[in-house]
Amino acid sequence: MLSSSLTDSIDEEFRKTFPNEAERGPFNGVINKFSVNTQRLTEMNKAVELQLIFLKTEEDKIKTKLNKTIRERKKTIYNGLEEKIEETMQECYKKAADCRGQGSLQRMRDALQIHVHVSKNTMFEEAKAAMLTQLNELKEEIRDDLEKTLTEAVELSLKTDDDSIPDVSEELERVKEYLK
């Protein structure tokens, strides 16, 4: 109940960021939109067609992996608000559980109300900060995975006897834009 107003306030933005519809994709579809334009590069230089097909396959694999990671982590991130509030309330719950005898129900209520009143500002700020930390960690993980996987794929695809290397400067600039 305590976390419901906080989750209500973020629900719309959270659904935009992590939609359930697969075609739009998380983060406003940026991961699904990202693409090394291998078709155009292949048309420009047929000699590296196999390397470009390999890069496209690796790109598809990393997108699938990232979307799966995001799906799993979004649940953890969203539920983290409630968990953080529960964690903050544990001390109060223990105090309330220790109440015995006549009037114990009222003392339990009072203990809960006082604790919520005293800690409400910090409790919600800590929950929000924990969520933002998890979102930033996810963002960093996505960036690192993309960079590592695509760098490895490019290096592997270029380890051939063929000396022709395609010009990917435009695609590199696009990747940098997506990173920003």
User: pLDDT tens string for the chain (180 positions)?
Assistant: 878 877 888 888 888 888 776 666 676 677 777 777 777 777 777 777 888 888 888 888 988 888 888 888 988 998 888 899 899 899 999 999 999 999 999 999 999 999 999 988 898 889 889 999 999 999 899 889 888 988 888 888 777 555 555 667 788 888 888 888
User: DSSP state, 168?
Assistant: -
What phi and psi, each to the nearest 5 degrees, are found at residue 24?
Answer: -80, -40
* The predicted structure's pLDDT at residue 174: 86
Domain assignments of the chain as residue spans, ordered by start: 4-179
Looking at the chain, which runs of residues are DSSP E strands?
Answer: none
Q: Output the furthest CA–CA distance in the chain (Å, rounded).
A: 87
d(CA 37, CA 42): 9
* The predicted structure's pLDDT at residue 170: 83
* The predicted structure's pLDDT at residue 64: 86
* The predicted structure's pLDDT at residue 107: 93
* The predicted structure's pLDDT at residue 97: 93
* The predicted structure's pLDDT at residue 121: 84
Contact (Cβ atoms closer than 8 angstroms) between residue 52 and residue 167:
no
